[in-house]
Structure 1
């Protein structure tokens, strides 16, 4: 993306965010793209540039801990209420009233925060690989080890076992010494490798220490590999790992509880319990007036499509206008299936979002 279109803003809590911005043409809305782990704004380039050419406004931040944005290593700074404030500071800097929020991976968690804290600033939501993330989706009353045990019982392996490695204090030291191995695991041409060498408890750390290697997927080019190594060899993983530590150390659930939510986790399923304050229950979900797009990755063995479908089949979503597409792709569908995604998102924006916004 054009380096001259990147800007910096100092948020209200004193953190610098680096973001790409292109103004809309005519009456087109602005699209806010939020990336996940471990990525930068570059991962959205195929979608952002396509819609920029179509006249849409574009905002693509390097999320907290990544790229040109500040990289604090205190996990408490990564709670959703504060990061939602950061995103609103960016929108305010560009005098943007409302946007279409689009997220991939933990970017879906970021735009979920906008639904919870600033629903009036979002026209519609698009989630890729990871669906809407409810407040306190991991409750402090449930031991995370039990969550993992329940996952192993149901799926045959712990979907989130790798969270424990990313929550270790020496994670950056290990990754920096084995970064090629990490790349081959993240972007392998065999998605099922993650079932044995990435997701289960202890598997990722062991694979890295053994310098496990797998051929790279065709969508992940030599330029992609070079850019990944350049960014993360320089910036490290201590800050990005905070996206996991904030959850495993229960800082996020405390943040949710201190606002207005009480969500419990029964085995692996997410269910809403009673609110802790006199705030309407519907604030735990996006407003029903906001259309939702969910792009599932058929070959994703961690963020399983079935769990995304289960999320949006909850009673709380019965009045929402939900558009679902499943892509024959692994977790990195925004890289591998960008043309298809652009076509589907474009149709959704034209036929669903436009009608909801007028």
Structure 2
């Protein structure tokens, strides 16, 4: 988990949440892993030869596990080396039905193994409570152990439940609906009691990456007469097809980011988008600076536009063979549909949209 975010940073234009993930992941490292960084001497362990039977069996078990994982990966994902093209080819060698059947078979047993592992860790943490001197401190240590153990078991339990009303359901039994229904009812009741606090959630920035067939983007357009329209270019998001993608990390351009999410949604524009249009029509400088810090790049810096509308496009990177005379464009795009109708400050259409969302 510590190495994954840097790889994402190197291969994608992501922002500060990768740094946050790295910080959180460091807290999961064992002291033995970071002892050298902290300047602590490494404990010397006596090397016995020949090794004990237990260590030999543990090593064989570990090697067997790695071997089975490698074998199953090759078998079920059809890994083959294409020596002619010097590529590693792969294809899924199982059906969707086989996959769901396998999930249904292993989900609940894995939950049981996880519970046993957790209880073992709790039991291992029990003896130190009795090693503390003094009755009061023993009682205090036992109380701390009981609170932490209860909280840990409770969090683990509620993280298994899938609630259909939850917008971002917890991760594990969500992958198999039937297994979710077979969980002990008390776990469902516990989840219902704490669900409003959102103490558990699915892991991952994009657990289900959107399959959109191109990058959807909202393009704002302004006009003084309602006939001749000028695109409003943002500092970071794709707009002008000749503009290179901006490198923003670790900065988080919230407005550009939210506009991309708005473009992904198959529903009417979010309430905040109507408010954005209103502020741009009013010419509010604070909002304009979210679009363009350099006012010379904002086409309506001298006078706010009379009309604003938004179009939905899909963007793709251009390939080497798509060049044209002159500077090669970075993007090609295709118009999809109107995203937001043309509005102005006079007619009641914009006022009606704002009132619907409680913004007026």
TM-score (norm 1): 0.24
Q: Which has the larger radius of gyration?
A: 2
Q: Which has the higher contact order (CA 8 A, sep 6+)?
A: 1
